[in-house]
Amino acid sequence: MWEVHVATADEMVKLGRCMAAYLCGGDIVALYGPLGTGKTTLIQGIAEGLETTKRIISPTFVLVREYSGRLPLFHVDAYRLEGIDPSDIDWQVSFSEYISRGGVVVIEWAEYIKQLLPNERLDVFLSHESVGRNVKFLAHGERHSKLLLDVREGWKRLCKE
Amino acid sequence: MVVLGIETSCDETSVALVRDGRTILSNIVCSQADWHKHFGGIVPEIASRKHVELLFPALDLALKEASVELNSIDGVAVTCGPGLISSLAVGLAVAKAICAALNKPLIPVNHLEGHMLSAFLADNELDFPFLCLIVSGGHSELVYAHDLGKYEVLGRTRDDAAGEAFDKVARVLGLGFPGGPAIDKAATNGSPSAIAFPRADMGGSLDFSFAGLKTAVARFVEGYRDILADKSASQYTVPDIAASFQEAVVDMLIQQTERAIQMTKANALAVVGGVAANRRLRQRMNELTSGYGIKLVIPPIILCTDNAAMTACAGYYRLERGLTANLDVDAIAVWDLEDVTVSHLPPKVT
């Protein structure tokens, strides 16, 4: 578990870039938080760090956008899936396809598909503060715990610079 | 020439027949919206299964309504991207099968090019070059269409699409889905100047941004939730918020479009995509274009939402120039307009 305060949108992009430096194919990042807490902004930073060639825009309408970069990036958005009956769909199939393609999977509005998320993942909770945003990380599984440690150390170094 | 169009990029299954790129013989659109409502949204796997079920009946209906035999068509135009891969793949597979069986040319079409050229179906006189504003649930782009396959993207959204902002704000206001018509309706009883929501400053660029506005509305509503519930005590009503939000979106679209008109000296403007149905946007676009004395084309709603007539229309212009493809063409999830060329093969999936 790690918590960080992010003051501006630029800093949120920087945090995303920092995360990208340690992401490996098969990593799953699940983002939670209400409208306007900076989820898409964080992913824009991750995409920059992964050197995707296209600009990241919201995938709400199409549910998932694929980008190619240092690693393939699958940007999933479950906003339109609120209230879904998890027994009706098999997202595991999609997630395993993305993972088998060596990609990083980032999921916005993960709270709406909680029961469908892979067990091993990095949870990121975003919330409003009076100034800026609060970002809380929680890792599940060995690989994602290592990822979280790396991101945390990387961020500390960045902030000292 | 009669072109068969197939469009399955998202959750509408559509088949159309269009003569000479301008005359719609039939345009069958099966919306899966009611079906997906049951699940609370679009589920890719379910969408593609539904496309499989609906595509052949839609094809039969389109041929019957147009009184056209399948083997008498001149080509098959199909949307290859951008969109949901699993959905696009269904339309593309059927298009390829028809082409292989009947030896017809296959014409891959970019979904956004289809949207732009839907203006040709709405206005017989319109021709290249023209300025086009694409505003839908998934896209917000300002494009100068020099010629077929020569599209200059002048600006696009940096975050949320305009239609998406409508949907999300409607949800915050408890107005339901789809958000566009709900906001439009609620706004008629509100004051557009009740609340000064922020308009993003895009510097000199022609890009759009709606995320900040969306957040501002969400936080405003959060702060007023208790007060809004008590109608007598509230200084603002839900219609006021809807109208003020709508005005902010329309202001941004108008401002950037006006700058594009000045920059390109375009003498025709097309506004396409689902958000083009918004009455306030239509009114303001009318005022804008009359002020500049230029032509305005806003297609009817059936041509603004996803449909195969636009695909067939774009297909006709490509076929006319011999721009057909081999049967090994792939569906592609991300396919920007600037990557659409005259030769127009979708970029290979890497």
CATH number (domain holding residue A113)? 3.40.50.300
Q: How many residues does chain A have?
A: 161
CB-based contact B172 A68, cutoff 8 Å: no
Rounded distance between C-alpha atoms, residue B151 and residue B154, angstroms: 9
Residue A35 forms part of a structural domain: yes
B336, amino acid identity? D
The 10 Å Cβ neighbour count of residue B345 is: 15
B138 compared with B284, residue with greater pLDDT:
B284
Q: Kindly state the average pLDDT of the residues B144-154.
A: 95
Measured distance CA(B226)–CA(A13) in Å, rounded: 34
Please state the rounded mean pLDDT for residues B175-198: 91
Asked if B46's CB is within 8 angstroms of A63's CB, the reply is no
B172 in Cβ contact with A68 (< 8 Å): no
Whether chain B has a CB inside 8 Å of the CB on A111: the answer is no
Candidates B40, B164, B215; nearest CB to A60? B164
Contacts of A41 in chain B (CB under 8 A): 159, 211
Of residues B40, B156, B161, nearest to A61 (C-beta): B161
All residues of chain A having their beta carbon less than 8 Å from the beta carbon of residue B163 are 61
Q: What is the pTM of this model?
A: 0.85
Nearest-CA residue of chain A relative to B156?
A57
Least confident range from B146-150, B239-243, B346-350: namely B346-350
Determine the pLDDT at residue B275.
95
pLDDT for res B33:
65
> Per the domain annotation, does A27 fall within a domain?
yes
A interface test, pick of B172, B275, B334, B338 with most A CB neighbours within 10 Å: B334
- pLDDT band per the 50, 70, 90 thresholds, residue B40: very low
A83 chain-B contacts, CB cut-off 8 A: 40
**Tally of domains in chain A:** 1
Asked which of A23-32, B33-42, B106-115, B298-307 is least confident by mean pLDDT, the reply is B33-42
Lowest mean per-residue pLDDT among A70-79, B231-240, B263-272, B333-342: B231-240
The beta-carbon neighbor of A40 closest among B41, B136, B159 is B159
In a domain, A98, yes or no: yes
All residue ranges of chain A with pLDDT < 70 are 61-62, 83-94
pLDDT band at B283 (very low <50, low <70, confident <90, very high): very high
- Domain extent for A43: 8-120+141-160
Looking at the domain assignment, is residue A104 inside a domain? yes
Which of B46, B158, B218 shows the shortest C-beta gap to A89? B46
Weakest-pLDDT range from A98-102, B164-168, B190-194, B322-326: A98-102
User: What is each CA distance from A26 to A59, A122, B1, B125, B310, in whole angstroms?
Assistant: 20, 12, 49, 53, 39
Share of chain B above pLDDT 70, in %: 91
Range with the lowest mean pLDDT among A132-136, B35-39, B86-90?
Answer: B35-39
CB-CB: which of B44, B159, B168 is closest to A63?
B44
Domain annotation covers residue A77: yes
Is the peptide bond preceding residue B105 cis, with omega within 30 degrees of 0? no
Interface test with A, best of B32, B164, B339 (most A CBs within 10 A): B164
- Which pLDDT does position B231 carry in this prediction? 58
How confident is the model over B54-83, as a mean pLDDT?
96
The predicted pLDDT at position B335 comes to 86
Nearest CA in chain A to B350: A68
What's residue B49's pLDDT?
A: 85
3-state secondary structure chain A: CEEEEECCHHHHHHHHHHHHCCCCCCCEEEEECCCCCCHHHHHHHHHHHCCCCCCCCCCCCCCEEEECCCCCEEEEECHHHCCCCHHHCCHHHHHHHHHHCCCEEEEECHHHHHHHCCCCEEEEEEEECCCCEEEEEEEECHHHHHHHHHHHHHHHHHHHC
Residue B332's pLDDT is 87
Summary mean pLDDT of chain B: 90
Give the contacts of B30 (CB within 8 A, at least 6 positions apart): B12, B13, B14, B54, B57, B58
Residue A110, in any domain of the structure? yes
Which residues, numbered 64 to 83 in chain A, qualify as contacts with chain B under a Cβ-Cβ cut-off of 8 Å? 64-68, 78-83
Percent of all residues in chain B with a pLDDT value above 90, rounded to a whole number: 73
Question: Can you tell me the distance from the alpha carbon of A23 to that of B179, in angstroms, rounded to the nearest whole number?
Answer: 36
Residues of A in contact with B172 (CB under 8 A): 35
Domains of chain B from N-terminus onward: 2-117+303-342 (3.30.420.40), 126-302 (3.30.420.40)
pLDDT at B230: 60
Return the biggest CA–CA distance within chain B: 70
* Interface residue A57 vs chain B (CB under 8 A): yes
Amino acid at B209: S
User: Is position A21 within any domain?
Assistant: yes
B217 pLDDT more than 70? yes
Residues of B in contact with A8 (CB under 8 A): none
Q: Is residue A16 part of a domain?
A: yes
Residues in chain A within 8 Å Cβ distance of B161: 57-58, 60-61
The pLDDT, as a whole number, for residue B345 is 61
Cβ–Cβ below 8 Å for B40 and A79:
no
- Tell me whether A114 touches chain B (CB under 8 Å): no
Chain A, nearest residue to B49 by Cα: A89
Give the pLDDT of residue A97. Answer: 75
Q: Give B157 to chain A, closest Cα distance, Å.
A: 7
- Residue A90: which of B45, B160, B216 has the nearest Cβ? B45
- The minimum CA-CA distance between B58 and chain A, rounded to whole Å, is 23
Give the model's pLDDT for residue A79.
84
